[in-house]
Amino acid sequence: MGVSVEAEQTSLAEPYSRSSRPWLTSLAVAGLACATVATAAQGTGQFHWWAVFILIPAALIAASGGPLLARGGGRAFAGYMLACVGTIVFAVGALLMFGVMGRGWPLMVVLPCLAVAGTYGWRAAHPLVRGLHRAVALLALTGALLGLTLQLIRLDLIHLETGWWGAFLMLAGAIVLGNAGELTRHRMPYRLQAITLLVGPAVIAFLLGLRFLRGW
């Protein structure tokens, strides 16, 4: 009798242990991130203590998304959104704590774009929705590359001539044009209209980018 009661208690405790593990892991990562940023800021002598009121809540928001991502299913999207929003706000707090927002603001371009680009692996059932989502994710990746380039310029690591952003316009146009071409493989209603709507802006973006890049 005693053995069966102990076995039942153990079987009931195991699900709770498994469900609490992602929470503990996420909170541990959040705490480590806050401690690392605060310690590094103090070490550089640029510690702005009031930024902890942004840093800690943002870390907790990001941590709350971890368990939802671990569960998967329909809650994974909500977890991903929480993790992305928390990470972006955490980055704002870190920049403010170091007092480098003037030099680090391009990260506010990079991180949101990476959040959108991170959804590339999600596949919709309808080919038109899937194609449009793929185009948006790849355009977001282009935006992240643009933000990274801006960051390198702000840090004086690279020096580019006027009109360099035209290359990113051309890349964006090529991405949209490529996705329009991919839609030709699918038989679906309104296929021609969708392709036309994609090709027009793609060609205009490509030509504008070429104009800026060549300085015409």
Q: Which pair of structure tokens corresponds to residue 181?
A: 């071409």
Can you give the pTM of this predicted structure?
0.81
CA dist 185 → 111, 128, 193 (Å): 33, 11, 14
Domain ranges of the chain: 1-104, 109-216
User: Which pLDDT value is given to residue 4?
Assistant: 52
Chunked into runs of 10 residues, the chain (216 residues) has average pLDDT values of: 48 55 89 94 89 94 88 82 94 94 93 93 76 89 95 91 88 90 73 79 90 81
| Per-residue pLDDT at 216 | 65
pLDDT of residue 41: 92
pLDDT at 5: 45
Would you state the pLDDT for residue 195? Answer: 79
CA atoms in the 13 A half-sphere facing the CB of 101: 11
The span from the CA of 65 to the CA of 71, in Å, is 10
Mark 15-53 as b/e (b = at least 16 C-beta within 10 Å).
eeeeeeebeeebbeebeebbeebbeebeeeeebeeebbe
Tokens of 104: 């680090």
Say what the pLDDT of residue 75 is.
80
The CA–CA distances, whole Å, from 190 to 17, 69, 126, 184 equal 51, 35, 12, 11
In this prediction, residue 12 carries a pLDDT of 46
